[in-house]
A and B are shown apart, each in its own frame.
Chain A
């Protein structure tokens, strides 16, 4: 039974606080990384074909992107400071190895993004069209650099390589092995494609929303068709990458796989557990629904493959089991449903019935699916990494700032909860409002400086526009 003292443990509260701020933060890159690339693609198509519909769509998604990006910046600034305030022992121990990766993210990515973002958002009429396209491209590139470095750092914590340990602190021995550590290529591909898919489902959801109401037909048809083609490639690709990522995890973090599969005993011809209630105390599953042999086949690509169970490790090295087990099933379940939706689109497209009302409804319903999958996937990999911050080497319990008290962290956690709960719903409302207004004509008036969109509507004379 957790006592009051344990409930106010700075360690547990710091973990919850980190989970809270990163879960909210990751929703934004999950959307902005995809949107930035999508905008660059639209700007490029506009430049290449001269078709206005691409320009209108680019301007429309840029308006939504601006809000998500702004929220991403401010919620992202919170993150590196968490390492210092709550995880100072982790920060000190890993700084020699990880800090340049964080710093390179800052230098390469953030600056590329924010320096060109101003031009992308407000410079449509101030710079030549090609320069505006370049700005869009740079912003997209910036978001990808950001993902590259931050996932390199995260992957190193999962599968550390290229280091030596001196006096309890990590020192770099080989930078290439640090950056391209064993899980990084898989994690990077899996995450970025996952983010693209997430954005894709938002885009088809918005397109379906208009089509069902008979608004912006040209824009919506363009969005729906091109995005379903993209998803046709990306969703199956993501499933293949996910499988490869799983094999990589089995090789380097077998205890995590054991937790994901709620797999207690080492065995060959391991079943695939579709559903169960993992009982960590007794190291067994209740109410399990198993498919014989399939677990070994999926994990080792061999029916007789041996998969190690959790009992191979001492208890104090077990990750929590139920959380990764269920989170993983949510992620995979959503992935399969996405595949079903995309496959349906092929069938409909072949019959030229892509705009069937029931399918549009389905697209609308599915639009937030990617976010749920991203959070579930992130939860799987991060909770599955426990009880370590640096896998097998530095315990989470030894990472927390030593001087913090439970009260300190309770106060800060309450602050983050209140502020995020105030900010996120409003942000979502803002984006929903832009969606409701739709991709109207791009403004044609020359803008000297400032924001072409906002201030105009903010002026009393033009304010009426805002309340349709």
Chain B
């Protein structure tokens, strides 16, 4: 084995961090759109809502694979510990994504069962989101570990805290989805999206406040990280910026701006994400394995890095092109009336 003098861990942390955040934003908005779909006023509205994400959802969902496989590649110990620990949330997420994914296709072509697939789309999106939120909550609380393997029960991950973060993420993705719909629709449907955006926003506000109070109470490590001097000084911008963003988001949901609500929601997610990263650094398996302890062999990280650094920009470029092709307001009925 060749010994490589370069430490790839920080770079892989950045790449994986970016990949997970990209997934959260992009599949986040289309899962959110899926949740809101269940509340759309009528058939025509539902069609527009689903159309707004039809060309992009599977591209977004593949980032989940990149996140999972990226974790395996860069931090295999984390992958091997976390996935069995969140066995049932992962199962629920995967099965829900299966239902939701096929609902896109079946919805259009299966006339008799349209309502079943309508439900599959909405509930599938909601369950997948909730399950991801439970994974997040369980992650923050940490896992029982023996050596390089999880040693607890598959049911340990269900705690009041993780169930709450599950609900919180449903509101969060709902807000992202509403922001997307405000941008992609017009008229009554846009007004409807703004209204549901406000509901989700209130949920997000409550969730952020409760999680921010609850987390330091149950995790002394995080409490110390937040409140010990001088950290509290360095970290104070996080809640302040979040509060400002919240104000901007509320105004955007209520005024006539098109894209501001989506951008504001992204900002809120970014702040929460940074908050979690700051709280848990340098752990990838909270309180047990640091990024360096869980890292794969340097030659593994190097081999994958070559292709990733070359392909990631290309991927982002043509993903951008794909969004550009389907830009503008979504309309289902052009040329048919």
Contact = CB atoms under 8 A, between A and B. Distances in A.
Interface stretch (B43-51, B205-213, B227-235): B43-51
Contacts of A127: 325
Interface string B310-326: 01100100110110011
Contact of A401 (B44, B150, B326): B150
B65 A106 contact: yes
Contact of B299 (A126, A172, A467): A172
A182 B332 CA distance: 52
B72 A467 contact: no
Nearest to A464: B111
A399 to B, nearest CB: 11
A86 B88 CA distance: 11
- Indicate the size class of the contact surface on chain A: 35 or more
Contact of B315 (A115, A427, A447): A115
Interface stretch (A117-125, A338-346, A369-377): A117-125
Contacts of B51: 449-451, 455
Nearest to B70: A103
Given A73-B61, A91-B76, A408 B87 contact: yes
Which one of A66, A164, A429, A449 has the greatest number of beta carbons of chain B within 10 Å?
A449
Interface stretch (B100-108, B191-199, B249-257, B267-275): B100-108
Given A80-B69, A99-B296, A85 B101 contact: no
A2 to B, nearest CB: 23
Contacts of B64: 77
A458 B333 CA distance: 10
Contacts of B61: 73-74, 77, 114
Interface residues of B, number: 90
B103 to A, nearest CB: 10
A107 interface: yes
A336 B40 CA distance: 55
B68 A451 contact: no
A118 B113 contact: no
Contact of A84 (B70, B79, B108): B79
B336 A118 contact: no
Contacts of B77: 92
A459 B105 contact: no
A78 B98 contact: yes
B104 to A, nearest CB: 6
A287 interface: no
Interface stretch (A50-58, A262-270, A411-419): A411-419
Contact of A108 (B111, B148, B307, B321): B307
B90 interface: yes
Interface in B286-326: 296-297, 299-300, 303-304, 307-308, 311-312, 315, 318-319, 321-322, 325-326
Interface in A389-425: 401-405, 408, 411-412, 415-416, 419, 423
Nearest to B318: A115
B109 A454 contact: yes
A99 B307 CA distance: 13
A172 B73 CA distance: 12
A-B CB proximity, top 6 nearest: A84-B83, A454-B108, A95-B76, A450-B51, A445-B335, A74-B101
Given A80-B72, A117-B58, A402-B150, 12 more contacts: A91-B80, A92-B77, A92-B80, A99-B69, A99-B300, A126-B326, A401-B80, A423-B98, A426-B106, A426-B110, A429-B110, A455-B108
